[in-house]
Copies of this chain bind each other. A is one copy, B any other.
Amino acid sequence: MLKKFIDKESGREVESSVMNAITIDCVVFGFDKGSLEVLLIEHAEGIRKGEWGLPGGWIKKSESIDGAAHRLLADLTGLDDIYLEQLKAFGSPDRFPLGRVITIGYYALVKREDYNIKAGFTASDAKWYKIADIPNLIYDHNEILEFSLVNLRNRVRQAPIGFNLLPEKFTLFELMKLYEEILAVEMDKSNFRRKFLRMKLLNPLDEKQQDVSHRAAQLYAFDPKIYEKLTKKGFSFEF
């Protein structure tokens, strides 16, 4: 019952049982007005035309899988040069209706202000959805999304990656709100401040918030060197 392919060049048979189609699917997180959001695209072609799903596509033979993820995201949404990390391979035999397709999930954290999403390639539309408003997605994409959300909640406590969702300059309060939103907890402003400042990860800037109707807060940027160090040696943020 094994299907066989013939290699056109060599003429030799190749057992299809070990040949698999591999795709990439990306869960792109953004943070806007206090809400965690995910970038979804509407498929412009293929068997699921018109339906929403995660941005993704085929891996080419000549590229690394990280490279494929970056290429696909750029093609489909215009996102370029972003924080992207491999999540997990999903390979249930029946996850794709037309045959066995294994997909490698990636998740990305982007600063919303830096990008204008533009649907491209095989995507007819691309939009940010609030986590609470995710529609039914194609294939097992809801499952992949759920997995990446759990992963994000874990990662954000174990590595200083939250900044990738915030603008270059941010206040401690905004950072705290980000953690509160992702982890679905409430925190104490004062304790959060002390805890975070103690690890020297943030550099205070010579700037304050503008155009706010209350006392303007100090702006901070994160320190890439300490970031590097903490990422290597481990980071633990307890609540």
A215 at the interface (CB under 8 A from B): no
Interface of A is mostly: mixed
With contacts A4-B8, A5-B8 known, is A20 near B89, CB below 8 A? no
Q: How far is the CB of A194 from chain B (nearest CB, A)?
A: 18
The 0/1 profile, CB within 8 Å of B marked 1, for residues 1-31 of chain A is 0011111110001101111111000000000
Which of A54-62, A76-84, A170-178 interfaces with chain B? A54-62
| B22/A62 in contact, CB under 8 A | no
| B6/A6 in contact, CB under 8 A | yes
| B89/A64 in contact, CB under 8 A | no
| A89/B91 in contact, CB under 8 A | no
Q: How far is the CB of A147 from chain B (nearest CB, A)?
A: 11
The 0/1 profile, CB within 8 Å of B marked 1, for residues 63-94 of chain A is 11110100000000000000000101101110
Using CB atoms, name the residue of chain B closest to A6: B6
| B59/A20 in contact, CB under 8 A | yes
The CA of A157 and the CA of B4, in the complex, are separated in Å by: 46
Cβ-defined partner of A236 (8 Å) among B18, B61, B86, B238: B238
Contacts of A88 in B (CB 8 A): 86
Most buried by B among A66, A86, A89: A89
| B21/A20 in contact, CB under 8 A | yes
Contacts of A17 in B (CB 8 A): 58, 60-62
| B5/A7 in contact, CB under 8 A | yes
Contacts of A58 in B (CB 8 A): 17-18
Cβ-defined partner of A91 (8 Å) among B9, B65, B236: B65
| B93/A64 in contact, CB under 8 A | yes
The CA of A18 and the CA of B46, in the complex, are separated in Å by: 15
Contacts of A117 in B (CB 8 A): none
With contacts A3-B8, A4-B8, A86-B88 known, is A61 near B234, CB below 8 A? no
Task: Show the binding face of A for B, using Cβ within 8 Å.
Answer: 3-9, 13-14, 16-22, 58-66, 68, 86, 88-89, 91-93, 100, 102, 104, 154, 157-158, 234, 236, 238
Q: A20-B20, A20-B61 are in contact. List 11 more A-B contacts (CB 8 A).
A: A5-B5, A6-B6, A8-B13, A17-B58, A18-B60, A18-B61, A59-B102, A63-B93, A64-B92, A68-B91, A89-B104
